[in-house]
Amino acid sequence: MSRTLPPDVSEQDFARALDAFAAVVGEKWVISDPAELATYADPYPVGEGFGQAPSAVVSPADVEQVQAVVRIANEHGIPLMPISTGKNNGYGGASPRLAGSVVVNTGARMNRILEVNEKYGYALVEPGVTYFDLYEYLEEHAPSLMLDCPDLGWGSVVGNTLDRGVGYTPYGDHLMWQTGLEVVLPQGEVMRTGMGAVPDSNTWQLFPYGFGPFPDGLFTQSNLGVVTKMGIALMQRPPASATYLITFENESDLEQIVDTMLPLRINMAPIQNVPVIRNIILDAAAVSQRSEWYDGEGPLPAEAIERMKSELDLGYWNFYGTVYGPPPMIEMYLSMIKEAFLQIPGARFFTHEDRNDPADRGAHVLHDRHKINNGRPSLDELAVLDFVPHGGHIGFSPVSAPEGRDAMRQAAMVKARADEYVKDYAAQFIIGLREMHHICLFLYDTHDADARQETLDLTRLLIKEAAAEGYGEYRTHNALMDDVMATFDWNDGALLKFHESIKDALDPNGVIAPGKSGVWPAKYRGRGL
């Protein structure tokens, strides 16, 4: 196995930089052995030549070491790729955007829960704190608080928030509940945002905006610093909750589902959480293998889809949500939700208590949602990857208006292309307040080079086609960041020019995550890296 060095860096210069890193973090916290580096490669590679392992991994123990690492990178011209726990799966995992970058694994040693305030409901955490870690801590020390976690709880609270990930309780928009950052800037200075900039402030996690321009967003999906601390607001755990599943028979029901949903959601009641609309392929993938339904050539035929629905006792679309509160309020909200959706012909309504037979495979997702929607992290959804052999997925994640016709148009566009490329379209619409994240998971065999290339081609094509209809993505795989940024090009690319100006001003040597989100420093710009 050979190691890719950063662009323009010789073996000798690289070796000198590694020695300097080791002098700061300690020998054993610098990894450069190719076999070990391979664990930082994209677990779900797409295409060829992307998602390769970094040239080295450096794991600092504290903020001062991060500052020293960043300064060394500036001195030697070494591109760094900061990660928290590196679980950005479906978008590149722990792998750097720029081949040969040195991964700065901030989560390996900086993994302390610095403070949990039960009275005010917040936590201050380092990048290595996972959802499972914080959950366990809260259970023991602050049981009145409820976490908000993504589908898979193994990742970093900081990392997910910085990538603008989502969860499913009322606090599902993670960035919305972020309450202040500590960041090492590209030349090594450390800064705190919000009220954290006032020395000895006791409101850092209470008022995120502070005074003056609000820079926190610039450290999300970006390359302007290395975040070393972050505050996150936490809800009080409600007295009770009920999770419901509403099944809908037809693919075309999506239009009415979305139009029924919006007025119930936009005022945060009676639909209180971030609900999801999942298609039957995603729900079947969570509990079965594709070969059980179909093992011929081509896309899953209608007959196989029908069998999935009947054997799992699910619909083509399945709507999952949770209501919280004292039991009379739960009953009232459930009845409002039920009445509204049961207007749709063929719709069926269940709560998690209605379907608790362990033999009911189709209820597995309902119970997993109940856990997640109550802030209990889970890894059950990982089973989706076993739907196909050596399964991997890429996220194609356009934002949709909460408008039935629009959602249908997007879903039909994706489904047609996915069928053409013979990649299963496992869909979920994650519903915010006035938009939906339409997560299209394309499942493919990671050991099959053709499948890897087709999945990349399919996603790249959809980015273009979606943009032609006015749609953009909320997040994307490393291999497609330039493609997506190219679609955010209103007024001659004014947005990217703005990002590049800031990038060049703050990071003149271009050391932090070059190319992240399509933003390249001057040093590498236009080189087709």
Q: Phi and psi of 50, rounded to 5°?
A: -115, 155
Minimum distance from residue 119 beta carbon to ligand EUG (Å): 32
Quick one: 90 or 275, whose CB is closer to ligand EUG?
90
Q: Which residue, 256 or 428, has its beta carbon nearer to ligand EUG?
A: 428
- Mark whether 474 is an active-site residue: yes
- The CA distance from 408 to 477, in Å, is 24
In this complex, which beta carbon is closest to ligand EUG, that of residue 429 or of residue 520?
Answer: 429
> In DSSP terms, which residues pair with 103 in a beta bridge?
57, 81
**Cβ atoms 332, 282 nearer than 8 A:** no
Q: Give, in order, the Cα–Cα distances in Å from 261 to each of 45, 190, 340, 430, 490.
A: 36, 44, 8, 12, 31
Residue given tokens 């719709």 in the structure block = 347
Check if 135 is active-site. Answer: no
Closest distance of CB 496 from ligand EUG, Å: 22
Contacts with ligand EUG by CB under 6 A lie at 90, 151, 166, 381, 395, 397, 428, 439, 441, 475
Q: Furthest-apart CA pair in the chain: how many Å?
A: 70
Has 91 been annotated as catalytic?
Answer: yes
What is the Cα–Cα distance from 274 to 377, expressed in whole angstroms?
A: 16
The two three-digit tokens of residue 123, written as one number: 């936590």
> For ligand EUG, which is the closer residue by CB, 14 or 425?
425
Query: Which two tokens mark 266?
Result: 């936009």
Taking the complex as a whole, how short is the minimal distance between the CB of residue 498 and ligand EUG, in angstroms? 25
Q: How far is the CB of 17 from ligand EUG (least distance, A)?
A: 33
DSSP result, 334-357:
HHHHHHHHTTSTT-EEEETTT---
Least Å from the CB of residue 395 to ligand EUG: 3
Q: Residues for the chain: how many in total? A: 529
As measured in angstroms, the least distance from the Cβ of 10 to ligand EUG is 37
Which member of 40, 44, 91, 471 is catalytic? 91
Question: How, if at all, do strands 348-351 and 317-324 pair?
Answer: unpaired
- Nearest residue (CB) to ligand EUG, 205 versus 476: 476
Residue number, 44 or 248, with CB nearest to ligand EUG: 44
Q: What is the number of other CB atoms lying within 10 angstroms of the CB of residue 489?
A: 12
Question: What is the β-pairing status of strands 30-31 and 56-58?
Answer: antiparallel
Residues annotated as part of the active site: 91, 474-475
